Every structure is written in structure tokens, then in C-alpha cells.
Structure 1
Amino acid sequence: MSLPPLVKESERDQKEWNRKARDAINRLTRFALGTGATTERPQGPTDGQVFYDRTLKQPIWWNSEDAEWKDATGTAA
């Protein structure tokens, strides 16, 4: 009866599943939010559009009323 190898294999499977899940979430986030450097912000964004600015290392939102990108505090980004 070799239970320890089964436990280790189970842990390895869990780590692999976690890695795949994390990768899928990261890909979905990049697709849904859009990411890039400050210079790569979308042209003609729509009100409320979210973009993860890798230069600032934070998500920002387009505010069409002020025609500028804002961070979570409402400060121009």
C-alpha cells in the first residue's frame, strides 16, 4: 500500500489545476479588461470602459463626461 505517492500525485494534480485555472483567469482578464502600457490605451473608449494600465499597475476607467481616464479614486490617470 503506497499511500504517500498517491498523496503527492494528488498534490501535483492540484498544483497543475491551480496553474491552469490561474492562467485561464489571467487570459480572460486581459481579454475582458484590456491591458497594456499607458501609451497603449484604447482609442475611442466607451463610457465606463476598463483598462488595466501596466505602467501604473492599476485598473483605470474611461469617464466620457470628463473625457479622461480615471483611477478607482476618481483621480485622472
Structure 2
Amino acid sequence: MYKRFKRTYQARTKANLLTSRKFSTNIEMKKRRNKENNIERKRVSFDLRTDLHKQLKMQALVQDKKIYILIEEALEKYLGEKL
């Protein structure tokens, strides 16, 4: 019984180490990306018509950009014209 417990404990410990390493690697990658961009962002949530969302996704694919970048560019252009 002791051997079985020991093997199970070792397997769990190994799995926890692998998970914690993966977790710390993801955190390090996010920190690195934030340093590269060095832009402070705020997460927002809003409703969007489905046809606009579809067009936005297509433009993101065509331009090889992320959706939030396209939205930022459109807002900067819109707000720049208003000032």
C-alpha cells in the first residue's frame, strides 16, 4: 500500500510542477508582451450588431490584425476628426 501511495504522490507532484511551470511561463510571456507594447489598455464590453462583427472579423483576417487593433484605429480616426 505504501508503494502505491508513493507512486500516486510522485505522479501528482510531477503534474503540479509541470502545471506550475506552464503557468509561470504564460505569465512571463504576458509580461514580455506588455513590455513590448508598453501601452496601457482597459478591458471593455459592449454589444455589436452581428453583421458588423462579421465584417470586423473578416477585415481582421484580411489585414492580419487583431480585432481590438482595428477598433482602436477606427476610434482614433473618428475621435481625431471630431477634435
Q: TM-score, normalised by structure 1?
A: 0.50
Compare CA radii of gyration and give the structure with the larger one: 2
Higher helix share: 2
Greater RCO between the two (CA within 8 Å, min separation 6)? 1
Higher strand share: 1
